[in-house]
Amino acid sequence: MVLSALAVAVLVFFLVPASYVSSASMVLTTPTTGGTLPTESTRPLGLTNPLLQFSDGLRVTAGILILSLNTPEIAAELGVTDGSTKVTVNDGRTNPNLLGISTNGPFVYVEVESTSATTARDVVAKAKERVRKELATRQDELRAPRSTFISVVDVVPSTTPEAKLSAKVTAAGGALVLVLVIGVAIAYGLIQVRGSGRPADRPKRAGEVRETETVNQ
């Protein structure tokens, strides 16, 4: 029974397809001149470091982008049409490397898990391009001056898809436990059936006892 359970577990491990994960981290930044235009061309605004201009406005913009990308329509546009591929877009809360700082900066984190390494890589690239397109479109719709446009900068570029074996291990472990439980249940049932098939010791009646004693005498 144990050998059978191990054989089934190994078979399930190789039959369950591996999943591949690719991700990318981006941050929103303002231009060096900030988010406003000078009212007088002779007195231009001073230049500042974009990495020192993180504000609640950028975090709100990042939140808008995240919400807009978490829709079935966008998923279909990215090529996610079945359950073999999963796209996650958030502020980095699911990334251990960004978890401690995701609330302090306007991050956009994209993660794709797929049964195909090529699909995972391609969908991440499409999602990053869609983030930039969505940001530019919304700023155009609001008629923001081009010189004040927010930009998207890669913090961590698209990673090489890595195999994720947790699903395979979980499936194999579940198959092992299931076969063991079924085997124990079958063995217990056979023992009960064999036990019930044996003739039970019937108590002797008084007449039978006396007849036996007379024969013995």
What is the model's pLDDT at position 35?
A: 77
Tokens coding 88: 């996650």
**Average pLDDT, stretch 83-105?**
83
Partners of residue 164 on adjacent β-strands: 19
What is the model's pLDDT at position 135?
A: 95
What is the model's pLDDT at position 207?
A: 54
SS3 of the chain: the string is CHHHHHHHHHHHHHHCCCEEEEEEEEEEECCCCCCCCCCCCCCCCCCCCHHHCCCHHHHHHHHHHHHHHCCHHHHHHCCCCCCCEEEEEECCCCCCCCCCCCCCCCEEEEEEEECCHHHHHHHHHHHHHHHHHHHHHHHHHCCCCHHHCCEEEEEECCCCCEEECHHHHHHHHHHHHHHHHHHHHHHHHHHHHHHHHCCCCCCCCHHHHHHHHHHHC
In this predicted model, what pLDDT tens digit does every residue of 147-205 receive, in sequence order? 889 999 999 999 999 887 777 778 778 888 888 888 888 888 888 888 775 555 555 55
What is the model's pLDDT at position 197?
A: 59
Q: Name residue 38's amino acid.
A: P
Of 114, 55, 117, the C-alpha closest to 80 is: 114
What is the model's pLDDT at position 216?
A: 52
Provide φ and ψ at 111, rounded to 5°. -135, 135
Can you tell me the distance from the alpha carbon of 92 to that of 104, in angstroms, rounded to the nearest whole number? Answer: 11
What is the model's pLDDT at position 195?
A: 72
Reply yes or no on whether the pLDDT at 215 is more than 70.
no
**Average pLDDT, stretch 53-82?**
90
In this predicted model, what pLDDT tens digit does every residue of 113-147 receive, in sequence order? 998 999 999 999 999 999 999 999 999 999 998 88
